[in-house]
Amino acid sequence: MSEPENNKQNRHKKRMQARKEIVDAGVAKALEERGIVIVYTGDGKGKTTAAMGTVTRALGYGYNVVVGQFIKGVWECGEKNLLSQLPPEQYPLQWFEMGTDFTWETQDFEADKAAAQAVWEKLKAALADDSVYLVVMDELTYALNYKWLDKAEVIEAIHNRPREQSVIITGRGAKPYLLDIADTVTEMKSHKHAFEHGISARKGVEW
């Protein structure tokens, strides 16, 4: 091996050793084993998609998953096509949605609220069920911000859930009371969006 090549190897090795120490130290400190609350918020693409990636992940281990979607009622979406066709005995998934049209199409507060409440009742039951490993509340922030759901009731149900259960909440505009109960919060921050540049939403990528 030439001299510069050797230096490069050594530099790389040093950098990787330093990184290993950091990673190992982190793992050594992270000892608490319990379910977590994740909030995906912000104006960028990837919130619902990350939640659905996690649904796929949890089902991959055969864990019991419950998904409730607020707002995105009657849209076709690829991940639901696939996940709802899986054999339920191997991949136990329940999926609830409002079943109404997009909120800005229906323009009827009471109908939307009733539909959101129906989804919430299913999620509340899941949050009290210790056989459920992962509960996804997709676009929950809208349901709360539109006052379809009672904030205190939602927070209490999440707080009192079984210790091993994880929860994912998605949607723009998550308020501090949601961030406070979360263990992990990622803001999906949009720097660029194809849609704003005249490119239509892509089947199989954006829905």
The residues in 148-187 that bind a second copy, with binding defined as CB under 8 A, are 166, 179, 182-187
Q: 205: buried, middle or exposed (CB in 10 Å: 19+, 13-18, 0-12)?
A: exposed
- Identify the sign of the CA torsion 147, 150, 156, 162: negative
The one segment of 54-62, 67-75, 116-124, 151-159 that binds a second copy by CB under 8 A: 54-62
What's the min distance (Å) between Cβ of 66 and a second copy?
14
What's the min distance (Å) between Cβ of 135 and a second copy?
11
What's the min distance (Å) between Cβ of 116 and a second copy?
13
Among 20, 151, 159, 175, binds a second copy (CB under 8 A): 20
Using rule CB under 8 A, residue 46 touches a second copy = yes
On the CB side of 52, CA atoms within 13 Å amount to 19
Give the length of the chain: 207
Q: Give how many residues touch a second copy by CB under 8 A.
A: 88
CA separation for the pair 10, 6 (Å, rounded)? 6
